[in-house]
Chain A
Amino acid sequence: MSNIFKLAARNLFRYKRRTLLTSMLITLGVVAVLLFIAVSGSFKALMVGQITDSMLGHIQIHKKGYLASIDSLPLNRNLTGKQLDKIVQVLAEEDGVEAYSMRIRLGAMFSNFIETTNIRLNAVTPTDEIKTAPLLSDRLLAGDKEGLIKQGEILIPELLAKGMKVKVGDAIVLVANNKDGSVNGQTFVVRGILEGISGPGGRDGMIHIDDAKSLLRIGTAEVSEVAIRLKDIDQLPAVFARLQKKLGSIKTQQGGAVFEMHTWEKISPFFNIAKMIDLMTFFIKIMLVAIVLVSIMNVMVMAVYERINEIGTISAIGTLPNKILALFIVEGLLMGILGTTIGTVISLVSIAIMNVTQIRFDFGRQTGLLLSPTIGVADVVLVVAMVIAIAVIASLQPAWKASRMDPITALKHV
């Protein structure tokens, strides 16, 4: 076999310019795909991380029907008593869960004593929330990040702060209706300004859960949602399935489900953007396949045509058809390996340079996001294997033609 490789390599070297041009084409394709995967993956990971780590968590549990009416933040669809006990018990048994945060979500009137507007709020236990959404404090544009929030304090969204001309340290009033319709008001001090992010809850303010209970006159254990953070996001489907199995089987007396569970993918609209990125990656891979297929096939067809007489000679002196087949397939394979190797090296160096130069970009209202392109070994291996496999496939037809060539006809070829 090494003889076939030697002969194939020399034949490629014989047509240096053509080999180089074809390899460059493959290199270009590999670089385009790997860089796209790295950059889009970085963007995706950044956005997903931002969404899950600073707001949503990886999985959320609600009372059945809550999400369908989430726009009105219904307090009558909160999780209560035994339901919460069951959730706590199941989460304690699940190894994949790193932390969880119980939240009350509510709508209220926000007043700075001059004007009044609406505000959507998340009421949380700060210690749990920090563990579940560790990047939340990074969204604080102003104010003390330590401890996130205390009773009597409020974090208000950036847009609201600007619109209502409220700054850290100002006093404001929240007025809210509880689920029975009675109204209550409470004064808060602005602890910080929260940067808005894409997705649900990204423009909400935040208060301490005990303040929410007092404002809404909730005396018992009651929350709107339980946000869960996993130890490893790659385990999301498995953990979700296990939780679903345990909690989904709990039914009401009427036979309906008590809980509804969603992964961040179902809750955040960004998931569709992520899916679109995946689709684009897929089509770019298809383009790469086409580039490799066409360029290698073209070169191999030319190689066979130019060496018909030579094929006739080696066939006449007894080279078996399968060796002739192997010879041309190996030529395609080597060209694929050459182009892929150069392409992979260029891509990895480019990715390293991008990380060193710290490229920043804006997305929507978010500015200065840091692009940190990375590429997994699996992605590199997949692209390399794909290109090499396509190079071999593209060589098959010309190689087959060469191996089936009648030696007499081939020897007569001028």
Chain B
Amino acid sequence: MSVVVAKRLVKTYVSGDIRVEAIRGVDFSIEPASFVSFIGPSGSGKTTLLNMIGCLDPPTSGYLQVAGQEITSLSRADAARFRGEHIGFIFQDFNLIPVLTVFENVEYPLQMVQEWPRQQRKKRVMELLDAVGMADQGDKYPSQISGGQKQRVAVARALVTNAKLVLADEPTANLDRETASRIIDLMKQMRDEFNTTFIFSTHDQRIVDSVEITFTLEDGILHRQETMTGGMVGGDDV
């Protein structure tokens, strides 16, 4: 079953008399354990699409199903609950909580969102920190580690809840070339290890080159899709 299904998805922003159609009726689906990117120029609607998939922004119309659940009309609290259970986020600026240590940052979704018991939490966090190569940095605060390390921690945080889907908005934008490549490799490795679907919004050609499926958005329309290394995709305007 597809992890994301979108049908005639529309997002329109209205400000006074001005209407901006950010997404204009797109159809697509994404299979589990895919490595997918949305690319396109600034203002093309890729972040909007990612926000809708991430249950952060409801569509204006159309049908959107994520992890087997229709998410078009969830309340604020239900949307938060859904995100906490099914979706992991990786941000361009890492967005770690500065007052928490590396360990606590990864632990946060288990503790504050899913409320796991302490021992299980500890085991799971160590598992993830080990997987991203940060097990020995658990006691450090975000201000004490490098950008690449921060993004590793962010990857661990996104995966720690066994999320079916990880959304990454420009995850390599603030990293140097070498670190960015390592982060991409890490995410691919995590996909293989945890069977998690990774969806990127990016300008980074290195990510585009490494994903299996690429959707190109222009003026809110999904123009084409490419299958770089295989995977089942449906789309419009192709």
Contact = CB atoms under 8 A, between A and B. Distances in A.
Contacts of A13: 99
A320 B56 contact: no
Given A3-B112, A411-B91, A318 B99 contact: no
A322 B75 CA distance: 14
A313 B95 contact: yes
Contact of A7 (B76, B100, B161): B100
Given A316-B54, A408-B56, A321 B76 contact: yes
Contacts of A10: 99-100
A319 B115 CA distance: 11
A318 B113 contact: yes
Please classify the interface of chain A as helix (H, G, I), strand (E, B), loop, or mixed, using the class held by over half of its residues. helix
Given A407-B56, A408-B56, A408-B57, A317 B99 contact: no
A14 interface: yes
A316 B100 contact: no
A16 B157 CA distance: 28
Nearest to B85: A318
B77 interface: yes
Contact of A319 (B51, B88, B113): B113
B109 interface: yes
A312 B51 CA distance: 12
A315 interface: yes
B108 interface: yes
Contacts of B100: 7, 10
Contacts of B99: 7, 10-11, 13-14
B80 interface: yes
A160 interface: no
B80 A319 contact: yes
Contacts of A14: 98-99
B235 interface: no
Given A320-B80, A320-B81, A314 B91 contact: no
A319 B114 CA distance: 9
Interface in B82-113: 82-85, 87-89, 91, 93, 95, 97-100, 108-109, 111-113
Given A7-B100, A11-B99, A310-B97, A316 B113 contact: no
A3 B107 CA distance: 11
A309 interface: yes
Contacts of A322: 77
B89 A316 contact: yes
B112 A323 contact: yes
Contacts of B88: 317
B109 A318 contact: yes
Contacts of B97: 7, 310, 313-314
Contacts of A317: 83-84, 88-89, 108-109, 113, 157
A159 B80 CA distance: 82
Interface in A293-333: 309-310, 312-323
A58 B198 CA distance: 83
A9 to B, nearest CB: 9
Contacts of B82: 318
A313 B80 contact: no
B56 A319 contact: no
Contacts of A7: 97, 99-100, 112
A323 to B, nearest CB: 6
Q: Considering the complex of A and B, which 3 residue pairs feature the smallest CB-CB distances, nearest first?
A: A318-B84, A10-B99, A318-B113
15 contacts: A7-B97, A7-B112, A13-B99, A312-B95, A316-B89, A318-B85, A318-B87, A318-B113, A318-B114, A319-B80, A319-B112, A319-B113, A321-B80, A408-B57, A411-B95
